A and B are shown apart, each in its own frame.
Chain A
């Protein structure tokens, strides 16, 4: 049985989206589209990740004409390492669950296991 991840499925989704292009700065709306999260869910996750030093944030230097500056995000080195580990654990846990479910006679379990995020 795989150990429970320290991140929620939503947080894992955000980490997956950010680790897809680790060196690139991404903005909130792009992350929301990629993860399917609403702004009220996405931003508290980004705040918690930034508090833990896993995500860094900055304001756009040169905004598009007539547009306000945008807030940009990317993983830190620690964040990238944590994301890689957490996503790998999540994949293993998902595989174990799939194997258990496929075993003959095994009843489908309603657990609180971590859903495997969609890793780009």
Chain B
């Protein structure tokens, strides 16, 4: 047997593993039969047919297409989230680390899960995974926009004025420069949470965990509804101030109450429905265990999908509003809201934001050293107390 034949045979044996197990015999058959074909071109043509068979049965075109699509999506998200040259070194390093680790998690965790628990074996599982990937990739650039905004000193206008007011002790920062440093603890915590959610979803959609496709479908739908309702009720935060002027009611507003009820009940409802759909004949003991497992898995998936949906929509809305005064005005009915104030609403849902409107109403608010500044500081009860002023652009991370 020549060295070229050995190489071809070895390559064929490796390639056969790309074919699903149910079809593997056929691919192996072509390779085994090649030994009976006269050497030279006929044998080469026979093996070429085998390669075609493997490509077709292994759905190589689909796999390569998905891989390319994933690479393009990841590249676009990374490009959007990658820090620009105007960002300080520490902010840039944090954002770069965030992007690299998130992409590593997205690429590495599925391989690890595949080795330990097997591949996804249903359409529902594959769709759920794809949805999670799209959501995490969408969060990356949106989060970067919000974080870069926190660290940036506004170049001018009312945002700059707001920034100066909130930095009365911080000297005179250069407009357009970056103030403060990244919140490393927060970044690590967010990455950890992302990794946990991703690992749970990958595990529950793997073959060996035996979560039924119906369970995944029910819980994903329930989670989607949950996320949409939470976003609709509290699009930019968890406190009532964030939802003004849409919902001017108190924290006991019926819609807010509905969101809280859904938050806790949706996973239970999804779990109950999934358990009801689970049938294990002839063994009551095994049936109850299987039902409990399907219900538990449905609750986890519902929770994960809901949280991710609300996060994607909320973060994207924040990023859009920070980037676009038009969107900001449209959503807030041309309420006099700057990007700084908006960020304060979103991030901390701080009541300090309310004072921003008061600031706008005062006639000489452009005078940085005027009594107005002192007055505003005095009006903001929580600015010096339990939390930082929510309407500031800069000093979130000192």
Contact = CB atoms under 8 A, between A and B. Distances in A.
Interface of A: 27-29, 32, 38-44, 46-47, 57, 59, 67-71
- Interface size on B, as a range, is 20 to 34
A28 B45 contact: no
Given A39-B33, A40-B52, A47-B23, 16 more contacts: A28-B29, A28-B30, A29-B33, A29-B36, A38-B45, A38-B46, A38-B49, A39-B48, A39-B53, A40-B49, A40-B50, A40-B53, A41-B49, A43-B30, A71-B25, A71-B29
Interface in B223-245: none
A47 B36 contact: no
Contacts of B29: 28, 43, 57, 70-71
B66 interface: no
B49 A43 contact: yes
A28 B53 contact: no
B32 interface: yes
Contacts, number: 59
B57 to A, nearest CB: 7
A41 B49 CA distance: 7
Interface string B21-53: 001011011101101110000000111111011
Interface in B50-66: 50, 52-53, 56-57
Q: Count chain A CB atoms within 10 A of each CB in B23, B36, B56 and give the residue with the most.
A: B36
A71 B45 contact: no
Nearest to A59: B25
A27 B36 contact: yes
A84 B378 CA distance: 97
Contacts of B52: 40
Contacts of B57: 47
A111 to B, nearest CB: 29
27 contacts: A27-B33, A28-B29, A28-B33, A29-B33, A29-B37, A29-B46, A38-B46, A38-B49, A40-B49, A40-B50, A40-B53, A43-B29, A43-B30, A43-B50, A44-B53, A44-B56, A46-B26, A47-B57, A57-B25, A57-B29, A59-B25, A67-B35, A69-B32, A70-B29, A71-B26, A71-B28, A71-B29
Nearest to B23: A47
A49 to B, nearest CB: 11
B32 A39 contact: no
A41 B48 CA distance: 11
A39 B23 CA distance: 15
- Give chain A's interface secondary structure class: helix
B30 to A, nearest CB: 5
B59 to A, nearest CB: 13
A42 B29 CA distance: 12
Contacts of B32: 68-71
CB-based closest 6 A-B pairs = A39-B49, A40-B49, A71-B29, A40-B52, A68-B32, A28-B33
Contacts of B53: 39-40, 43-44
A16 B53 CA distance: 22
Nearest to A42: B49
Nearest to A37: B49
Interface string B265-309: 000000000000000000000000000000000000000000000
A87 to B, nearest CB: 24
A40 B36 contact: no
A69 B36 CA distance: 11
A93 to B, nearest CB: 29
B26 A39 contact: no
Contacts of A42: 49
Contacts of A57: 25, 29
A67 B29 CA distance: 13
B159 to A, nearest CB: 64
B30 A39 contact: yes
B49 A47 contact: no
Interface string B324-336: 0000000000000
Contact of A47 (B26, B45, B48): B26
Contacts of A38: 45-46, 49
A39 B372 CA distance: 86
Nearest to A29: B36
A70 B36 contact: yes
Contacts of A41: 49
Nearest to A71: B29
B302 to A, nearest CB: 37
Contacts of A59: 25
Interface string B127-138: 000000000000
Nearest to A47: B26
Contacts of B46: 29, 32, 38-39
B137 to A, nearest CB: 36
A28 B37 CA distance: 10
